[in-house]
């Protein structure tokens, strides 16, 4: 079985600021904070396994949100 490479996440300054605001927000719903944190960790070079372990998540959750961000970025570009 060949391991598939996780999508590389690159953020603009504006995207990073928005995600950091969501991640640190005291009134941000938990599901949005988690998603923002996943993308920020991915942009900082962490792989899915590291992100999952660091955030006490399932690797499939990390893969799902990383892929969704990647597909969204492709659609906008």
Three-state DSSP string of the chain:
CCCCCCCCCCCCHHHHHHHHHHHHCCCCCHHHHHHHHHHHHHHCCCCHHHHHHHHCCCHHHHHHHHHHHHHHHHHHC
pLDDT score at 39: 97
pLDDT score at 1: 55
Domains of the chain by residue range? 13-75
pLDDT by residue (tens digit) across 23-71?
999 999 999 999 999 999 999 999 999 999 999 999 999 999 999 999 8
Of the chain, the end-to-end C-alpha distance in Å amounts to 32
pLDDT score at 15: 95
pLDDT by residue (tens digit) across 58-77?
999 999 999 999 988 878 76
CA distance 47 to 42: 6
């Amino acid at each position: 079985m060949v391991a598939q490479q996780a999508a590389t996440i690159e953020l603009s300054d504006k995207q990073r600021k928005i995600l950091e605001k969501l991640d640190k927000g005291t009134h941000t719903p938990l599901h949005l904070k988690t998603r923002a944190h996943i993308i920020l960790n991915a942009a900082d070079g962490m792989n899915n396994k590291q992100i999952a372990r660091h955030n006490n998540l399932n690797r499939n959750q990390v893969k799902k949100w990383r892929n969704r961000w990647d597909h969204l970025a492709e659609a906008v570009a």
